[in-house]
Amino acid sequence: MEFDFTWLLLGFPAAFALGWLASRFDLRQLRIENRQAPKAYFRGLNFLLNEQQDQAIDAFIEAVQNDPDTSELHFALGNLFRRRGEYDRAVRVHEHLMSRGDLTQPERNRAQNAIALDYLKAGLLDRAEVALRKLEGTSYQEEARLALLSIYERSSDWTQATEIAAKLDSSSHGSFGVRQAHYLCEQAKVSSAAGATEHALALFKRAAALAPASPRPLIEQAKLENQLGLHAEALNTLLQLEQSAPQALPLAAELLANVSINGQQQVAALALLKRSYAAMPSVDVVEAIIKLDSDTHSARDWYVKHLENQPSLVAATRWIAGERFENEQPHGLVQRALDQATKPLMRYRCAACGFEATQHFWHCPGCQAWDSYSARRIEEL
């Protein structure tokens, strides 16, 4: 049987026509999908600008389904989940990105950083630490170190915090010398509580050398020296404080009165307190002067002198407490009312968040800021 070439001649045009139709169908479908993806994306953006996060998430999910290869849509969706507090969904989106083989290294680093932020916001500090450590040597290195520093501060891991702060200090990110001094002081307090006082003193001295203008190392060192009975050494340490950070002397006023156990030390401490008061009047300094002054009557005149400088309710209350009046019967009631009224004035206030406390903090328990508390109480600000 001979092959009929007629069918072959007819088949070529038919095959060409079918191929052309198929390609047109594919192109049409592709155009439809490409039109749908931008529409979904812009619809999601519009919802986001109108603060309609639920609708924005639905629109971005649709956009991702239409164009699963676009990494930017995944990042946008993951960030939305994180902002809504749906950290598990945010982690899944970013982990899906990390699993893709076609992801470029910069995008992979970005996804790794996003996962670290997801864990950090979720409070999973151990997982966040592992994720942040993987960003060492990337463009997110400095940002990751700052986040690690926050983690170590929150967990009171002062050794690790000191290591990270040293790395940040060696880079061009800024000076972290004062922060490192605080970490050394925290380590010294732990050592002191454990009985390793020599090691604690060495850490305080190292902190003072690292941040000469920071008052905390010298004040903490003087406190420890006073506890150990090294009163002369404690007084010398506080004399150094006058040179390096005189504005912080009100915080050490009571300590100055306590370290002076003999006449010579009392004279030196009293002279230091009077110099401090002349530079910056303070009720704390006044009370330390009164405690050291041997003449009780003339010592109480310091309250009157302070009232001449400042209209202080606290000083007036303390002066009234030592006075005798013609009618003493209501004196106790009046004194109790005045003492109650002055309590809020004797607090310290954080300049960063406004958190108030009866004691001075180097590290604010409210906003975690360092050195945000003034050395002066609320009444004197």
Q: How far apart are CA 112 and CA 110, in angstroms?
A: 5
Query: What residue spans define the domains of the chain?
Result: 343-381
The mean-pLDDT minimum among 75-79, 111-115, 165-169 falls in 75-79
Closest CA to 291 of 323, 251, 260: 260
Q: What is the mean pLDDT of the chain?
A: 82
Q: How far apart are CA 90 and CA 80, in angstroms?
A: 8
Q: Which amino acid is at 173?
A: H
Q: Specify the pTM.
A: 0.78
Q: Which tokens belong to 128?
A: 């966040």
- The pLDDT assigned to 20 comes to 45
SS (H, E, C) the chain: CCCCHHHHHHHHHHHHHHHHHHHHHHHHHHHHHHHHHHHHHHHHHHHHHCCCHHHHHHHHHHHHHHCCCCHHHHHHHHHHHHHCCCHHHHHHHHHHHHCCCCCCHHHHHHHHHHHHHHHHHHCCHHHHHHHHHCCCCCCCHHHHHHHHHHHHHHCCCHHHHHHHHHHHHHCCCCCCHHHHHHHHHHHHHHHHHCCCHHHHHHHHHHHHHHCCCCCHHHHHHHHHHHHCCCHHHHHHHHHHHHHHCHHHHHHHHHHHHHHCCCHHHHHHHHHHHHHHHHHCCCHHHHHHHHHHCCCHHHHHHHHHHHHHHCCCHHHHHHHHHCCCCCCCCCHHHHHHHHHHHHCHHHCEEECCCCCEECCCCCECCCCCCECCECCCCHHHC
Q: Which tokens belong to 11?
A: 């088949």
Q: How far apart are CA 12 and CA 14, in angstroms?
A: 5
68 has pLDDT over 60:
no
49 pLDDT tier (thresholds 50, 70, 90): very low
Q: Which amino acid is at 301?
A: D
Q: Are 355 and 372 in contact (CB under 8 A)?
A: no
Residue with tokens 């002081």: 185
24 has pLDDT over 50:
no
Q: What is the mean pLDDT of residues 261-277?
A: 86
Closest CA to 242 of 273, 198, 201, 200: 273
- The pLDDT assigned to 82 comes to 87
129 has pLDDT over 90:
yes
322-342 confidence digits (pLDDT tens): 877 777 778 888 889 989 999
- The pLDDT assigned to 127 comes to 94
Q: Are 178 and 168 in contact (CB under 8 A)?
A: no
280 has pLDDT over 70:
yes
Rg (C-alpha) for the chain, rounded Å, is: 35
The mean-pLDDT minimum among 43-47, 234-238, 285-289 falls in 43-47
